[in-house]
Amino acid sequence: MLNRKSVSALVAGAALASAQCTLPTEPLTNNLTFPFRVQVQNATRSEVHNKFMNLYEAGGGDQHLFIGPVGVPTYDFTLINGVINHEPKGVRAVIGGEFSEIDHTTKMFMTERGDPRAIFQPTWACNPDTDEPQIELQFVEMQGETPGGWICVRSSFDGSHEFRYYPPGNELVDPNRECIKVTLVAIEVDPSEIPAYPTTTATTLVTSTVAATSTAPAATSTHDPSALFADLTHLGWRFIGCAPEERWANDGPFRTLSGAMFGSDYMTNEACMAFCEGLNFAFGGTEWSRECWCGNSYAPTREPNTTLASVANCNFRCSGDNAQYCGGDSWLSLYAKCDEEEECENATFS
């Protein structure tokens, strides 16, 4: 097994040996026990090239992965049996969820649960800019699936990019939201230079402490018309409708509401509105059974329709209450805080 010192020595030796990139001959195993940052490279795509993988608290013990201004810079990844680990948070990189119909990509994120792992093989290669030897994390496979494919990043909220898996044999591209193929590189970090990890990622971000036992949200085929939405008017929140969410078009930000969020395996519409109310937001919405989003405004293009058919897009049961709906796949069950001077009334649908 290669330790930190021997990597430095080998890299230094190789660089001295020649002005060209001469790769160390020491074979790499699928364990990297020294702390590293994960750098993303695609020299032809400057918007992502040389940016670093950040962790973003997602609730339920999960961490989302982003490059760009979203998330917390992370210096202490390790690789165990080909799987990227973040030991302090007890999570590992997996592939699953948020399947995109348009380009057949799937999210890569970190969790303590047993989802299929993203498997990598460390490989010596030459840095495209400096021509120095570097350790690339070559993507091998999504555990249990046909080997191959690659990791790509696509635009997400607030100028960030999120990590996704592009399966082998796939040729689909989302013309509005291309998933850019990237090389992941392990950049060794001196353990004494690892900054203290913040306990929260943002002041408005609340970490859910619930047990991580969630399963994939279940869409219901027929929407029960007697319970289209949870009536929260008694709490001072009115239902506006089922709003499009996570859309990538030139019609405003990616997220419909992006002021604050939390995820929980015990999500209800009441819990979400209580969270948004506590932070003084004017709008709140639930999505994907277990996510809660808050904000003070949303783009006019995200205004929900008042048809029964449009409400039926919010057909994922809440993770914390099977009798209510918490959004859908890229659909948000949207509520607004009622004005105290006025009657608090839900929108009507026909």
Ligand X SMILES: *[C@@H]1O[C@H](CO)[C@@H](O)[C@H](O)[C@H]1NC(C)=O
Residues engaged in binding ligand X (CB under 6 A): 1, 29-31, 42, 44-45, 80-81, 180-181, 183, 228, 231, 233, 244, 304-305, 310, 345-346
Between 180 and 257, CB nearer to ligand X: 180
**Shortest gap between Cβ of 17 and ligand X (angstroms)?**
26
The phi and psi torsions of 126 (rounded to 5 degrees) equal: -95, 135
**Shortest gap between Cβ of 128 and ligand X (angstroms)?**
7
**Shortest gap between Cβ of 292 and ligand X (angstroms)?**
20
- Of 73, 260, 47, 291, the closest CA to residue 159 belongs to 47
User: What one-letter code names the amino acid at 147?
Assistant: P
**Contact indicator for 333, 285 with CB cutoff of 8 Å:** yes
Between 22 and 305, CB nearer to ligand X: 305
| CB neighbourhood size of 53 (10 A) | 23
For tokens 């859309």, name the residue. Answer: 247
Q: How far apart are alpha carbons 128 and 42 in whole angstroms?
A: 9
Buried/exposed code over 5-36 (b: 16+ C-beta within 10 A; e: otherwise): eebeebbeebbeeeeebbebeeebebebebbb
**Shortest gap between Cβ of 33 and ligand X (angstroms)?**
8
Integer Rg of the chain from CA: 22
- Of 265, 193, 242, the closest CA to residue 36 belongs to 193
Between 42 and 264, CB nearer to ligand X: 42
Give the torsion sign (CA, 182, 188, 190, 194): positive
Between 211 and 227, CB nearer to ligand X: 227
Between 185 and 267, CB nearer to ligand X: 185
**Contact indicator for 8, 16 with CB cutoff of 8 Å:** no
Between 127 and 204, CB nearer to ligand X: 127
**Shortest gap between Cβ of 125 and ligand X (angstroms)?**
11
**Tokens describing residue 103:** 């380009």
**Shortest gap between Cβ of 349 and ligand X (angstroms)?**
8
User: What one-letter code names the amino acid at 159?
Assistant: G
**Shortest gap between Cβ of 310 and ligand X (angstroms)?**
4
**Shortest gap between Cβ of 210 and ligand X (angstroms)?**
27
Between 4 and 204, CB nearer to ligand X: 4
**Tokens describing residue 115:** 């989802």
Between 22 and 233, CB nearer to ligand X: 233
Give all strands (DSSP E) within 189-320, no chain letters.
Answer: 237-244, 260-263, 283-287, 291-295, 317-318
Give the torsion sign (CA, 232, 97, 281, 339): negative
